[in-house]
């Protein structure tokens, strides 16, 4: 086993002048999100979801702005955002496909499904197609082990996957582009 380290201490954060958290968004959080929770920290997940919904992913600058707004450290916000599969720290395609790689799906052919998907889209897991339409990633158990292999296509779970089913789904989503 080897530890893979990143030199995060000197990592440059891309910044833009306009904040990601607009006045409208912070007013909404103050008026409608924060009152639902016992403290500011507890509002982190819904705010991460909302920012990702607006921006498409969670840039580091946005994580810092969320940290300031919620009086947390940037590290706490990054720890949370990087823990959950639901959050994207880099831009993703219009359609994000998450193939389950946990044990039931692994036993039922997830590797064949993932391989077929990647070769059809000509990308590797974790990559996005050059046209920005599809991102393929691997995920842990989607809670439907009895219908393995399965995957999330956007927010919809697709069960009992076959290569034919994958082809039909990709063709349909490509047509919707």
- Specify the residue, 71 or 146, whose C-beta has the smaller distance to ligand FES: 146
> How many chain residues interact with ligand FES (CB under 6 A)?
12
- What is the spatial distance between Cα 96 and Cα 103, in angstroms, rounded to a whole number? 22
Contacts 24+ apart (CB under 8 A), 162-165: 163/112, 163/113, 163/116
Asked if 117 and 129 touch (Cβ cutoff 8 Å), the reply is no
Q: Is 168 in the site for ligand FES (CB under 6 A)?
A: no
x/- track of binding to ligand FES for residues 59-88 (CB under 6 A): ------------------------------
Q: Is 112 in the site for ligand FES (CB under 6 A)?
A: no
- What is the spatial distance between Cα 26 and Cα 111, in angstroms, rounded to a whole number? 43
Q: Is 163 in the site for ligand FES (CB under 6 A)?
A: no
DSSP for residue 100: E
- Specify the residue, 143 or 175, whose C-beta has the smaller distance to ligand FES: 143
Q: Is 99 in the site for ligand FES (CB under 6 A)?
A: no
- Specify the residue, 130 or 143, whose C-beta has the smaller distance to ligand FES: 143
- Helix, strand, coil fractions of the chain, as percent rounded to 5: 50, 10, 40
Interface positions, 121-150, toward ligand FES (CB under 6 A): 141-145, 148, 150
User: Minimal distance in Å, beta carbon 99 to ligand FES?
Assistant: 9
Binding residues (CB under 6 A) for ligand FES: these are 100, 102-105, 141-145, 148, 150
């Amino acid at each position: 086993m080897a530890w893979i380290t990143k030199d995060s201490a000197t990592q440059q954060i891309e910044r833009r002048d306009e904040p990601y958290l607009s006045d409208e968004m912070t007013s909404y959080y103050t008026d409608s999100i924060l009152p639902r929770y016992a403290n500011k920290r507890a509002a982190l997940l819904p705010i991460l979801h909302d920012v990702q919904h607006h921006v498409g992913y969670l840039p580091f600058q946005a994580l810092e702005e969320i940290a300031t707004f919620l009086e947390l450290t940037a590290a706490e916000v990054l720890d949370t955002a990087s823990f959950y599969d639901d959050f994207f720290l880099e831009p993703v395609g219009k359609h994000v496909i998450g193939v389950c790689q946990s044990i039931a799906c692994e036993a039922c052919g997830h590797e064949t499904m993932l391989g077929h998907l990647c070769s059809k889209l000509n990308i590797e897991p974790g990559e996005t197609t050059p046209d920005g339409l599809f991102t393929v990633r691997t995920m842990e158990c989607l809670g439907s082990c009895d219908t393995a292999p399965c995957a999330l296509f956007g927010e919809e779970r697709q069960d009992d996957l076959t290569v034919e089913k994958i082809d039909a789904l990709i063709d349909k989503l490509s047509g919707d582009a």
